[in-house]
């Protein structure tokens, strides 16, 4: 087990862990299923790994996550922001699904209720359900596009 590196940035920690085990960047990259350039960018603090990769790194070096993460405030902040972003995206996805289903439900309800003409010749129909249905569908589609845009932006 490595001695904790409090106050050391994440890149320095990774490099120290790698070199102490006499691994090249290429060898570590193979263990983690990433490119050598990715390892280099971590070690030079150009990029930081996501939480899933941090877990793999901790397992590879047999470290606890707190030893790996808490030494670098930048890494801690990044992982907290990533978590917050994932939560926002999940809420956006649920909202999208609910809005689209509500829109479809309005159309179905309008069809099920149907229209009737009373004895005075007045037409009674749930006309308000149609524009509400379109409104919910439109909001759902907009929300869906926002979700996809964020997801694509996060992957790049």
- pLDDT tens-digit series, residues 92-116: 899 999 999 999 999 999 999 988 8
For the chain, which residues make up each domain, given as ranges?
Answer: 10-71, 84-155
Measured in degrees and rounded to the nearest 5, phi and psi for residue 82 equal: -60, -45
Which residue intervals of the chain are DSSP H helices?
A: 10-20, 25-32, 36-43, 51-60, 65-69, 73-113, 129-155
DSSP code of residue 116: E
Q: Across-strand partners of 117?
A: 123
- pLDDT tens-digit series, residues 40-61: 999 998 888 887 888 899 889 8
Q: Is 3.40.228.10 the CATH classification of the domain at 10-71?
A: no
């Amino acid at each position: 087990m490595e001695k904790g590196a409090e106050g050391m940035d994440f890149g320095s920690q990774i490099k120290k862990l790698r070199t102490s085990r006499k691994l090249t960047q290429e060898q570590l990259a193979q263990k983690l299923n990433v490119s050598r350039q990715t390892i280099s960018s971590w070690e030079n603090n150009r990029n930081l790994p996501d939480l899933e990769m941090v877990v793999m790194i901790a397992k590879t070096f047999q470290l606890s996550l707190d030893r790996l993460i808490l030494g670098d405030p930048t890494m801690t902040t990044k992982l907290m922001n990533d978590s917050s972003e994932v939560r926002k995206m999940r809420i956006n996805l649920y909202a999208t699904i609910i809005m689209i289903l509500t829109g479809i439900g309005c159309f179905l309800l309008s069809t099920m209720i149907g229209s009737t003409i009373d004895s005075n010749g007045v037409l009674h129909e749930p006309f308000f359900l149609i524009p509400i249905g379109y409104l919910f569908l439109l909001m759902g589609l907009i929300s869906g596009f926002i979700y996809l845009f964020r997801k694509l932006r996060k992957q790049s």
